[in-house]
Amino acid sequence: MKFMKFLMTGILFGIVLSKSEVISWYRIYEMFNFQSFHMFGIIGSAVVLGAIITQSIKKFDLKSIVGESIQFNPKVKSFWRYLLGGTFFGLGWAMTGACPGPMFVLVGHGASVFLLVITSAMFGTFLYGVLRKYLPH
Amino acid sequence: MELVEWIRQPWEWYVAGPMISVVMFLLLYFGKEFGVSGNLRTMCSIVGAGKVNEFFRFDWKGQVWNLVFVLGGLIGGYIAKTYLTASEAVGISEATIEQLKLLGIENPGATYLPASIFSWESLATPKYALMLVVGGALVGFGTRYAGGCTSGHAISGLSNLQWPSMVAVVGFFIGGLLMTHFILPYLLTV
């Protein structure tokens, strides 16, 4: 039962990404052509409200469900891995029209071919694991 | 019933964006951080990638909550499609529709995905098979190299005012713009 809250939150996440068309290849194509505000509005408003939430949690030391202080893990300081890794990610994002979250939502939405895309993404992750000692970080 | 009818319409950005922040907040409140791509590594570990590479040797049992979260995402996609969608049409702009027609896509925006590319049958067409397989691999490789995807960097990272996430998001756009403007037009029309 301890996983039920994550399942319910995930269901909410899946419904939001579906209903707002974020999982549509067309919306991603449109975003990278700057032909609509839709995707920028979604990401932008999520970040602005997210920043307010994050800063409030820190300022008021909000406690989690089990009564502990909520922790944020700072990202490791580096440059090249974020720029290069991000660029590879962006190439794939625009090609498949899906980032990792939407890939799963799309399967539920009926596009079962995304099971193949997820398998490829697992292979890509595996390839990173194999190559990482040779890559600039 | 009016509420259900309202939900069945497409959701505007100012509804969806804040709700994504709510999802992020709920996970923080549950003592976790919002980020989906870690699951790809977890799934590699579960199928035994740890036997060949030490990067996949970690105690993935602590990550099961996140797999449950994406399973929820999958169920949410099913619920939205089955019960909460009045129309399959996607409200993309006229400019986008015209541009995609020129690239040979039929009825752009009539359904969520261009059926010619995103179906099992498309695997018979090499360029579409390439888009699905190579595209997926690029997402998986890039997200782990960058240490996060759209949820982890663009939402969680930027919300926490992290510079590395800003750099990653700039990278996302460099890659996305290159693909959309230089590779896809060529790939779709060859």
Report the residue of A88, A116, A123 to disrupt the B interface, i.e. the one with the largest count of B CBs within 10 Å: A88
Determine the Cα–Cα distance for residues B182 and A10; give it in Å rounded to an integer: 35
Q: What is the pTM of this model?
A: 0.96
Q: In the predicted model, what is the mean pLDDT of chain A?
A: 96
Of B33, B137, B162, the CB nearest to A123: B137
Q: Of A35, A19, A36, A41, which Cα lies nearest the Cα of A102? A: A19
Amino acid, res. B70: V
Which pLDDT band, with edges at 50, 70 and 90, does B39 fall under?
Answer: very high
Instruction: Supply the pLDDT for residue B2.
Output: 84
CB–CB of B161 and A86 under 8 A?
no
**What ipTM, to 2 d.p.?**
0.96
Instruction: Supply the pLDDT for residue A1.
Output: 73
Instruction: Supply the pLDDT for residue A74.
Output: 87
CB–CB of A86 and B142 under 8 A?
yes
| pLDDT tens-digit readout, A11-69 | 999 999 999 999 999 999 999 999 999 999 999 999 999 999 999 999 999 999 999 99
- List the domain boundaries for chain B: 1-86, 119-190
Instruction: Supply the pLDDT for residue B1.
Output: 67
Determine the Cα–Cα distance for residues A21 and B89; give it in Å rounded to an integer: 9
Of B36, B118, B162, the CB nearest to A111: B118
Determine the Cα–Cα distance for residues B118 and A25; give it in Å rounded to an integer: 9
Q: Answer for the pair B41, A124: CB distance below 8 angstroms, yes or no.
A: no
| pLDDT tens-digit readout, B9-31 | 999 999 999 999 999 999 999 99
Amino acid, res. B142: G
Of A15, A90, A121, the CB nearest to B76: A15
Tokens coding A102: 């939407």
Instruction: Supply the pLDDT for residue B190.
Output: 85
| pLDDT tens-digit readout, B77-101 | 999 999 999 999 999 999 999 999 9
Instruction: Supply the pLDDT for residue A37.
Output: 98
Chain B positions in Cβ-Cβ contact with residue A99 (cut-off 8 Å): 36-37, 139, 143, 149-151
> Which residues contact residue A27 at a Cβ distance below 8 angstroms, ignoring those fewer than 6 apart?
A21, A36, A38, A39, A97, B90, B92
CB–CB of B140 and A123 under 8 A?
yes
Tokens coding B55: 């990067």
Chain A positions in Cβ-Cβ contact with residue B10 (cut-off 8 Å): 19-21
| pLDDT tens-digit readout, B110-134 | 999 999 999 999 999 999 999 999 9
Instruction: Supply the pLDDT for residue B93.
Output: 98
Q: How far is B189 from chain A (nearest CA, A)?
A: 14
The kind and range of the H/E element at B165 are helix B163-178
Report the residue of B3, B7, B19 to disrupt the A interface, i.e. the one with the largest count of A CBs within 10 Å: B19
Percent of chain A with pLDDT over 70: 100
Of A14, A46, A49, the CB nearest to B73: A14
Report the residue of A37, A42, A125 to disrupt the B interface, i.e. the one with the largest count of B CBs within 10 Å: A125
